[in-house]
């Protein structure tokens, strides 16, 4: 049985990825921190399709909790796909950013991803696929999310470095950089703001979590067997680096 581990898999993009990879036949381990009820609903949905799944409460900034996650028996049997999806985004103007805030964001978005990978790396199969959920803001920056942008830039650069290191083993590492996606980050938009965002995107719509999940499924498949170290922008043409 192939196994996929998805961090932050209880809601938004992570939930869509969990469901999509389950539909591809993967047994799912998803982690959550503050969305236990939602995570269990995702697990129930997957189990109703006769695919096994489990939700694990894990604060990725806590090295002890991450170490405990790595002892899960499904992980010990080998991980085929690792999706590093968790994250935090607090809107703070770059000029008002304080060091403590920057450290919290980096600890979650960048260091947390590293800690999870480090804890489970010995359980990754030789042909494991690692998908890192970054952001377009990791390339273009943001006046009200400098800490988030910096964390996603660090994450992408680390992932591309890792891709070069593990390629001889057959493992592949790629980054997905979403644009506007209908998740909690945009949940507070007014109708006017939502329309404004849609008009800004050349494809004239906000992305869905399923759009990102489809890209993860592609990167987890043999159809992408010659792709590693890539940053794939999934944004409807909003940003073309």
Cα–Cα distance between 33 and 11 in angstroms, integer? Answer: 11
How far apart, in Å, are the Cα atoms of 79 and each of 2, 62, 114, 120, 129?
A: 7, 21, 16, 8, 9
Given 3-state DSSP classes, what are the helix, strand and coil percentages for the chain, each rounded to the nearest 5? 50, 20, 30
* DSSP letter, residue 222: G
Letter string b/e over residues 68-105, b meaning 16 or more CB atoms within 10 A of that residue's CB: ebbebebbeeebbbbbbbbbbbeebeeeebeeeebebb
How many other β-carbons are positioned within 10 Å of the β-carbon of residue 166? Answer: 18
Report yes or no: 10 and 36 within 8 Å, Cβ to Cβ.
yes
Q: Give the residue numbers annotated as catalytic, written as ranges.
A: 148
How far apart, in Å, are the Cα atoms of 27 and each of 48, 71, 152, 212, 217?
A: 13, 16, 28, 19, 14
């Amino acid at each position: 049985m192939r196994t996929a581990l998805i961090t932050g898999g209880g809601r938004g993009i992570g939930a869509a990825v969990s469901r999509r990879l389950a539909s591809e036949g993967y047994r799912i381990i998803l982690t959550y921190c503050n969305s236990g009820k939602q995570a269990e609903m995702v697990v129930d949905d997957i189990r109703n399709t006769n695919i096994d799944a489990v939700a694990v409460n894990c604060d990725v900034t806590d090295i002890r909790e991450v170490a405990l996650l790595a002892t899960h028996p499904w992980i010990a049997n080998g991980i085929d796909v690792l999706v590093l999806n968790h994250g935090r985004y607090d809107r703070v103007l770059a000029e008002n950013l304080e060091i403590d805030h920057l450290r919290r964001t980096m600890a979650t978005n960048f260091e947390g991803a590293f800690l999870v990978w480090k804890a489970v790396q010995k359980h990754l199969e030789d042909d494991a696929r690692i998908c890192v959920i970054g952001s377009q803001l990791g390339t273009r920056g943001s006046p009200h999310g400098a800490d988030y942008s910096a964390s996603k830039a660090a994450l992408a650069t680390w992932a591309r470095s890792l891709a070069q290191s593990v390629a001889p083993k057959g493992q592949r590492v790629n980054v997905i950089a979403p644009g506007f996606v209908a998740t909690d980050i945009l949940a507070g938009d007014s109708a006017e703001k939502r329309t404004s965002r849609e008009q800004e995107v050349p494809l004239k719509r906000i992305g869905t979590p399923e759009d990102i999940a489809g890209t993860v499924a592609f990167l987890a498949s043999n159809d992408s067997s010659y792709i590693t170290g890539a940053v794939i922008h999934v944004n409807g043409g909003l940003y073309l680096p």
